[in-house]
A and B are shown apart, each in its own frame.
Chain A
Amino acid sequence: MAICAPLLDLSPDRVDLTAILAPPGELTLLGNDDLGRPVLDRLLAGARTSLLVGFGVVAVSASLGTLIGALSGFVGGWLDLLIVRVLDLFMAFPGILLAIALAGVMGPGIENVIVALTVVGWVGYARLARAQVLTLVHRDHVAAARALGCSGGAILLRHLIPLTIAPLMVEATFAVSGVVVAEASLSFLGLGVQPPDASWGNMVRDGVSYLLVAPHLVVAPGLAILCVVLSVNLLGDALRDRLDVRSRRS
């Protein structure tokens, strides 16, 4: 639905001074905000931002992190020592704090949010991929491949990375919901999407001032986030269970 948002005829920025703070159902399905803009339209526009950031950040940080982590574990030596130190350093900061600081220093704007969340995000995948590779590299099937003359690159791409994909997929799924919340949090703090563009985070931020008179301004975007996070997490659980069963059988 969020993907189709641009196709629908939305008017998230249409100011209607006669509809200021109208409750849900009176003029539009989810009511109107403090400038009379329709909440439903803004919600859908915000969904696009959220999901774009969510999937974008996860896709970039997961591929980057996996590659760096897998390489680090596979090559070992000084490169591994260095990368582990860098990973430890990033882990020394609470993730969201680092994102807030980065986004804050770089200045508001959606691009900086994406950069900040990616900088924070790749670390988890790199650690996981490295740990996976370190356990897998001692498996006999890797030794067999070496005995058959496979090159290092072939072993990494054919025999190691495909086997790390499953846990990384699960991690990435859960991460989508984490990124959605993080983006909304940054926007809530005024560090993300800037007005008049809609984001679930800044909708809550704007709505808080009218909490008593127009609670729907806060409730609606919050519920939207809750739904996305719940469904993504349920998907992640299902994925994990499935992959678990498979690994147990084999």
Chain B
Amino acid sequence: MTGTARIRGGGAPGSSRIGFLASRIGSALTMLLGVCTLVFLLIHLVPGDPVEVMLGEGARPADQAALRHALGLDRPVWAQYLDYLARLSRLDLGQSLHAQRPVSDLLAERVGPTAILAVSSLSLAILLAIPLGVLAAQYRGRVVDRAAMTFSMLGAAVPNFWLGPLLILVFSLWLGWTPVSGREGALSLILPTVTLGTGMAAVLARMVRSSVLEVLGEDYVRTARAKGLGPAAVLWRHALRNAWLPVLTLIGLQFGALLGGAVITETVFSWPGLGSLLVEAIQTRDYPLVQGAVLLIALTYLAVNTTTDLLYAAMDPRIRAV
């Protein structure tokens, strides 16, 4: 930290809640532009001529020229970039090469299933991790703690693309309780949710535990006990209120891993979401669609992180004032 951060209060200009909100949203908007730029540059990373890669080597020059023109690749890069931004501002993500339909339409069809999967996995992770982490911290070194940490260790180590097939094998093929893949009814949601939620729950439980442990060692927890408060009041009113803050940030960050994991999990379960769409697009070299899917997922992540930041600020009076 620079010397500037040490100064508290002092009535320096811009030290209001609105100021914080404005600066946080301003930085999110800058990031938005940056993300769009990076996604735009993605297509220029294609080795050789992207048109040739897309159409295959035996394509006729006339077709190549037509596609090149359609994609705007025959114009200078800066012109392409400005054009790209202009189209983005109209929510025009271009045409899918493969499906010959607007990318935005394809994405719109797939957003719903991914949102359902992400929300259910996130809920599972939070509902599992928070009680587990808090219990482990409170009974540090005892059986509960060791069991929770073993789960956490294993859960964090199991790759999605392996856990998925194993669950399918046991619950769909052997026991026949759930459908193997696809999206038919509520039952089909269970296995993908467990696959995707386990890893996050594991990481989160560990973080909750260490955050609670750290807070329990703080001086103000000792103050609370010196006041004569009981263990429940100390834990809920003093320890957890502070422990939530880093956990909240981590949930935001872990949401990225969740979105990335969704790409794999959706592929495993043939779940008709954005992730499996992205993989299909990559396999068919449908670059406008790849760009569109990556952009949408990245922007979702950005929105989630900005939201957690603002929530953090709302919960922490220290930031509220700065």
Contact = CB atoms under 8 A, between A and B. Distances in A.
A225 B159 contact: yes
Interface of A: 85, 88-89, 92-98, 100-102, 104-107, 134-135, 138, 177, 181, 184-185, 188-191, 201, 204-205, 207-208, 211-212, 215, 218-219, 221-222, 225-226, 229-230, 233-234
B294 A96 contact: no
A107 B282 CA distance: 9
B165 A92 contact: no
Contact of A211 (B154, B161, B173): B173
B166 A96 contact: no
A101 B282 CA distance: 8
The 5 closest A-B pairs by CB, nearest first: A96-B260, A94-B256, A104-B282, A222-B162, A229-B157
B34 A92 contact: yes
B165 A208 contact: yes
B298 A94 contact: yes
B34 A89 contact: yes
- Quick one: which of B160, B260, B261 has the most chain A CB within 10 A? B260
A95 B161 contact: no
B287 interface: yes
Contacts of B35: 89, 92-93
Contacts of A97: 256, 259-260, 263, 294, 297-298
A89 B282 contact: no
Nearest to A174: B156
Contacts of B30: 85
A184 B162 CA distance: 10
Contacts of A189: 263-264, 267, 279, 282
A185 B268 CA distance: 11
B294 A101 contact: yes
B197 to A, nearest CB: 16
Q: What is the predominant secondary structure among interface residues of chain B facing chain A?
A: helix
A184 B163 CA distance: 13
Contacts of A135: 1
A222 B160 contact: no
Contact of B43 (A93, A105, A188): A105
Contacts of A212: 169, 173
A219 B259 CA distance: 25
Given A100-B282, A105-B290, A95 B158 contact: no
Nearest to A228: B157
Nearest to B287: A105
A94 B257 contact: yes
B256 to A, nearest CB: 3
Interface residues on B, range: 35 or more
Nearest to B48: A107
A93 B297 CA distance: 8
A44 to B, nearest CB: 18
B4 interface: no
- Quick one: which of B53, B257, B290, B294 has the most chain A CB within 10 A? B294
Contacts of A226: 154, 157-159, 162
B153 interface: yes
B169 A94 contact: no
A184 B260 CA distance: 14
A134 B173 CA distance: 55
Contact of A233 (B153, B166, B260, B305): B153
Given A94-B259, A94-B260, A218 B166 contact: yes
B168 interface: yes
B170 to A, nearest CB: 10
B79 interface: no
Contacts of B287: 105
B21 interface: no
Nearest to B305: A92
Given A105-B42, A218-B162, A230-B154, A92 B168 contact: no
Contacts of A219: 166
13 contacts: A89-B38, A92-B31, A94-B259, A94-B260, A95-B260, A96-B257, A138-B1, A185-B264, A189-B267, A191-B282, A211-B169, A225-B162, A229-B156
A188 B161 contact: yes
B46 interface: yes
Interface string B31-69: 100110010001101110000010000000000000000
